[in-house]
Structure formats: C-alpha cells, structure tokens
Amino acid sequence: MKSLTSGPAMKSDLSDFVYPASLAVAKGECDRGIFVDGVGYSSALIANKINGIYAAVCQDPFCAKLARQHTDSNVFCLGAKIIGDMMAGEIVKTWLNTDPFM
C-alpha cells in the first residue's frame, strides 16, 4: 500500500497526487487506487486520462459492487463532502471485496 496525501489541513492540487498514484496502478506497481476528494468526480476525471485506468465514482455499496463486476474498475473515487464516514467505509469495503466480472 502506498499513501499519497496532503493531510487534512493542507491545500494542494489534486493532480499532484491523483496522476502519480494512477500511473502506479496503470504500471502494475499497485493493484488498485482509492482517492478521496470533495465529491469524487475531479479525481476520476484526472485518473481516467491515463490508459489502463478505469476510475469509478460510487456513492453507495451497490454502485461500488457494479463498478467492479461490470467494468473491473481499478480506481475508486469517493466524495468526502457528500458521503459520511460509516457509509464510506461500507462502500470501500464492498469495492475492495468484489471480484471483477462475477
């Protein structure tokens, strides 16, 4: 596991973290990536510009399951401003534990 973070108090440009982490996934250095930003879509847009990345934004466990089952998403983007901590945990757990194309 690699963690690239700016911390809660620091402002940063998302691309400074999302792009290199997505490259690591695309190159096989990491199996999957999880990004948390305001609503998830900015990270997904940056990540999906890289060949071999299939980033999904999911706001509930059902969508997370489908993102893995139907598209084998290898990057997951979550919006901290719109998803509570408990729900975020369930969504991430579902995404991590769902086998692709099953």
Question: Could you tell me the strand order of the sheet in which 55-57 lies?
Answer: 33-37, 75-79, 55-57
Placement of tokens 């973290």 in the chain: 17
In the chain, % of residues over pLDDT 70: 88
> Which pLDDT value is given to residue 13?
87
> Which pLDDT value is given to residue 31?
95
> Which pLDDT value is given to residue 50?
98
Query: What are the structure tokens assigned to 44, written together?
Result: 């997904």
Query: What are the structure tokens assigned to 22, written together?
Result: 């997505």
Q: Which fold has domain 32-97?
A: Ribose 5-phosphate Isomerase B; Chain: A, (3.40.1400)
> Which pLDDT value is given to residue 8?
59
Residue 1: pLDDT band (50, 70, 90) is low
> Which pLDDT value is given to residue 21?
96
Instruction: Give the C-alpha separation, 22 to 30, whole Å.
Output: 9
Q: What is the average per-residue pLDDT within 12-33?
A: 94
Instruction: Give the C-alpha separation, 64 to 2, whole Å.
Output: 21
